[in-house]
Amino acid sequence: MFRTIFILSALAAGMLSSGALAAPTRDNGPKPVRAAADGGILVAQDGNLDIYYDARGNRVIVDADTGKVIAIQPPQTRLDRRALRREMRLRELGRAPADDDRYYLDDPEDMARFRRKQLEEEGRVIPPPADEYDPNSDNSVDAFPPSSQDDGSYDNNYPDAPAPAEPGTVKRQPLDEASIDPMQPAAPTDQAALPPREGGKTTVDPSLSLGARQDVAALQVLLDRGGASPGVIDGRFGSNVDKALAAYNEITGSNLRSTDAVGIQAALAQSGGDAFANYTITPEDAAGPYVASIPEDYSQKAQLDRMGYTSVTEALAERFHMDENYLKSLNPDANFNRPGTIIKVANFGRLVSTPVARIVADKSKKEVFAYDAAGKLVAAYPATIGSSDTPSPSGIHAVSRVALDPNYTYNPSINFKQGQNDKILTIPPGPNGPVGSVWIALDKPTYGIHGTPDPSKIGKTESHGCVRLTNWDARELAKLVSPGVTVEFVD
């Protein structure tokens, strides 16, 4: 009996021992984690995870049972919608994965990367963003190192420029507006007179060149060469150009149209070449003399020594029959105050030389016609002829005398009254005087044909009864007439 009980007890103990060996053991250590083949995370539990995101955008996977961090996934390692979209496109197209440098038009980063690659293949480099290269975004010298050939002097010397000549004495004298012909274009290797890039650069209002066309200016040059003055050469169509074109056709016997570009170029080639030429500013040009400004009041004008030009540009514009603003717009980088500067000017050619026997001042057309002894038209000029308050004469008169660079006597009891001036004043000579640089007196007292200080207004404003031309047109006509030449005023 006792033996039986002992055997049964031993069997029970053996069964309990084998059951304990077969039971799973509990381990408080970390659970094994291994990476999945596709880059995911495999854990011992099934879905017993907590997922968090830190301040840097990393995804943190935590064991919900133990609270231990299982994995940290940076943003670059996770599949986002953009990457998923790319992968889906590639799978649809049956192409290789996205490491073969494909680009998508709707992806800004892709297009930036594609553009950079294109420029690198062309040998060009895109400058890096400011925060990568120049943190202060100030384009400092440190951000852009100097060239290996730069000695740091930053001068603007031209390599082929000759040494400057010793300064000499410049004789100051009035400029002869119509005595200098445009120069032929200079050789491109002549670097001595290139306009400077710093200091003294002419400031030009961008609006000055609006509406101005060089083809129109070329037509104006051609008309001027033919003796049919368009007034100022400004590159703009207008009534003065229309009148000059009609006079040109009468003078030359042609039938030129303003739209005939081929005919205009052919006529230019036959009459003196290109419509524009280069001119080198001389020391005399820069020296003047010039006045600071011209006052409006006649009593203040009378106190000046001379009614001279106010700037080099004004003097050169008159010399080359141009509107001053148009001259500036043709040469936006030129330093007009520096001798040796090369500028582009109108190549108006030679002046009319045929003597004039008769002059007709057409009030309605606002134009003066000059005829030779045979009755042939030799020159025509746009003009301002009188006004309703101070009308010009009527009938036929004659030239009595010619005065170049004249004084002007203001007499309010005979002529008009200017401002509050009620005394006789003598205004000194000069191109900016009331009658400009020329006075062609008529046999009718106080009336004549003269120049103007505002050439751009000729044919567009009124005068005080006289016939007003541009200074260069009045000077040309003065050399063609003599005392006794008839002047007929027609309505």
From first CA to last CA, the distance across the chain in angstroms is 165
Three-class secondary structure of residue 396 per DSSP: strand
**What pLDDT does residue 104 have?**
54
The answer to whether 382 and 463 are in contact (CB under 8 A) is no
| Most confident option among 184-188, 205-209, 245-249 | 245-249
- Mean pLDDT over 360-377 rounds to 95
pLDDT: which is higher, 116 or 27: 116
| Most confident option among 113-117, 138-142, 391-395 | 391-395
**What pLDDT does residue 66 have?**
78
**What pLDDT does residue 121 have?**
72
pLDDT of 428 above 70? yes
**What pLDDT does residue 161 have?**
43
Distance (Å, whole) CA 402 – CA 441:
6
Concerning whether 464 is annotated as a catalytic residue, the answer is no
pLDDT: which is higher, 175 or 404: 404
How much of the chain, in percent, has pLDDT values that exceed 70? 63
Give the chain's mean pLDDT: 75
pLDDT digit string, tens, across residues 23-68? 444 444 444 444 444 445 555 555 577 787 777 777 788 877 777 8
pLDDT: which is higher, 153 or 91: 91
Element (H, E) at 121: helix 108-121
pLDDT of 130 above 80? no
**What pLDDT does residue 463 have?**
55
Q: Is residue 22 very low, low, confident or very high in pLDDT (cuts 50, 70, 90)?
A: very low
- Mean pLDDT over 422-445 rounds to 91
- Mean pLDDT over 383-409 rounds to 86
pLDDT of 101 above 50? yes
**What pLDDT does residue 174 have?**
47
Q: Is residue 440 very low, low, confident or very high in pLDDT (cuts 50, 70, 90)?
A: very high
Lowest average pLDDT, out of 82-86, 225-229, 254-258, goes to: 82-86
- Mean pLDDT over 296-303 rounds to 88
Element (H, E) at 62: strand 59-63
Sign of the CA dihedral running 215, 176, 350, 336: negative
CA angle (431, 238, 328) in 5-degree steps: 50
What's the whole-model pTM score? 0.59
The partner residues of 242 in beta bridges, in order of sequence, read: none
Given 321, 397, 450, 464, the catalytic residue: 450
Given 321, 397, 464, 466, the catalytic residue: 466
Sign of the CA dihedral running 301, 303, 309, 312: negative
Concerning whether 466 is annotated as a catalytic residue, the answer is yes
Residue 456 Cα distances to 51, 60, 229, 420, 472, angstroms: 82, 81, 13, 27, 12
pLDDT: which is higher, 376 or 100: 376
- Mean pLDDT over 467-476 rounds to 95
Q: Is 98 left (phi over 0), alpha (psi -120 to 50) or beta?
A: alpha
How much of the chain, in percent, has pLDDT values that exceed 90? 43
| Most confident option among 83-92, 194-203, 258-267 | 258-267
Candidates 383, 364, 358; CA nearest to 455 is: 383
The answer to whether 195 and 186 are in contact (CB under 8 A) is no
pLDDT of 368 above 90? yes
pLDDT of 438 above 80? yes
The answer to whether 173 and 143 are in contact (CB under 8 A) is no
- Mean pLDDT over 287-314 rounds to 91
**What pLDDT does residue 37 have?**
46
pLDDT digit string, tens, across residues 149-193? 444 443 444 344 444 445 454 454 444 443 344 444 444 333 333
Distance (Å, whole) CA 165 – CA 163:
6
Distance (Å, whole) CA 179 – CA 441:
23
Q: How many CB atoms lie within 10 A of CB 406?
A: 21
Three-class secondary structure of residue 318 per DSSP: helix
The answer to whether 314 and 453 are in contact (CB under 8 A) is no
Q: Is residue 421 very low, low, confident or very high in pLDDT (cuts 50, 70, 90)?
A: confident
pLDDT of 237 above 60? yes
Candidates 433, 454, 446, 461; CA nearest to 392 is: 446
pLDDT of 19 above 60? no
Exposure of 120 by Cβ count < 10 A (0-12 exposed, 13-18 middle, 19+ buried)?
A: exposed
**What pLDDT does residue 50 have?**
79
